[in-house]
Amino acid sequence: MDRAKLEELYKKYNDKKYIHPDPLEFLYNYENDVDREVVGLIASSLAYGKVTQILKSITLVLEKLFPSPASILDGASDLILKKTFMDFKHRFTTGEELAGYLFNIGKILRKYGSINSCFTADFDESREMLPSILNFIKKLRSGECDCYNSLIPIPSGKCAYKRINLYLRWMIRKDEIDPGVWSGISPSKLIIPLDTHMHRISLSYKLTERKQADFNTALEITKSFKKFSPQDPVKYDFALTRLGIHITNKTDCN
C-alpha cells in the first residue's frame, strides 16, 4: 500500500453517498453542534453487532430524545430516563444500562456545557491522546464500579477503544464525511478506530505485524498511516472500510 493508492481510495469513497449504513449518518439529521456531538456519542456507543440492528437501536433512542437530544438529556433525571428506556434492548445493552449512560452524558452537559469542553478540559496537545481518552471514559462511567459495560469500556488502557476513537474521528476531522464539530484538537492526535476488519486490512497491507487488535496495535497502525498523512493519520479510515464493504458485497453476489 502506497500513498497514491490510499489517495485514490480516498478520492473515490470520500463521498456522502457511501455513508449509509454507517451510524455516522444520524449526525447529519441535526444542525446544532451540541446535538451532533451527543448523537455521535450515542451512535458510536451502540455501534456493535449487526448493522441493521445498530441502525434500528439508534433510531429508537433518538426518537425518544426528539427533537433535541442535548436539551432533553441536559434536563432529564435518572428516574425519567430509566422509565423512558425500560424496554430498550440492544444485544448486551439493557434499558437500565442505557439510561445510566444517558444520565451521565446529561451530567457532562450540565457541568461543561458541551462534550467538546468536557474532553478538552483534560486534553494536552503535548501528550499522546490516551490519557485524555481514559479521563473522558471515567467521566462517562461516573458513579460506576470497574465492571463490564457494553456501551463504554473500562479505562484500563488495554483495549483498542474502537468506538471512542471512531467518535473522536467524527468530532475532530472535517471533510465530506466527518462533520468535525469540535475545536481545540488537531486531527494529527487521532488514533485509528481498530476493529477486526481494520486489523485484517492493516495486516494484509503490512501496516502492522501485531496479531492482537489492542491499543498498541492501533497506535502502530496509526504510526504507519502517519507516513502517508502526518497531520491527518485517520484520513483513510472511512475509505478503507468502504472498500472492505464493497469487496464483501461483490463476493456475496458471486
Task: Give pLDDT tens digits for 89-130.
Answer: 999 999 999 999 999 999 999 999 999 999 999 999 999 999
**Single-letter residue type at 106:** G
Model confidence at 252, in pLDDT bands (50, 70, 90)?
A: very low
Q: What proportion of the chain, given as a percentage, has pLDDT over 90?
A: 90
| Per-residue confidence (pLDDT) for residue 246, from 0 to 100 | 52
Task: Find the length of the chain.
Answer: 254
Burial class (CB in 10 A: 0-12, 13-18, 19+), 207: buried
Peptide bond into 21 cis (omega under 30): yes
Residue-wise pLDDT tens digits, 55-71: 999 999 999 999 999 99
Q: How far is CA 153 from the centre of its chain?
A: 12
Give the torsion sign (CA, 119, 120, 125, 127): negative
Longest dimension (CA), the chain: 54
Give the torsion sign (CA, 9, 13, 19, 24): positive
| Per-residue confidence (pLDDT) for residue 9, from 0 to 100 | 95
Give the Cα separation of 61 and 63 in Å (integer): 5
| Per-residue confidence (pLDDT) for residue 247, from 0 to 100 | 46
Model confidence at 244, in pLDDT bands (50, 70, 90)?
A: low
Residue 54 has pLDDT above 70, yes or no: yes
pTM comes to 0.95
Say which residue the cell 465530506 belongs to: 176
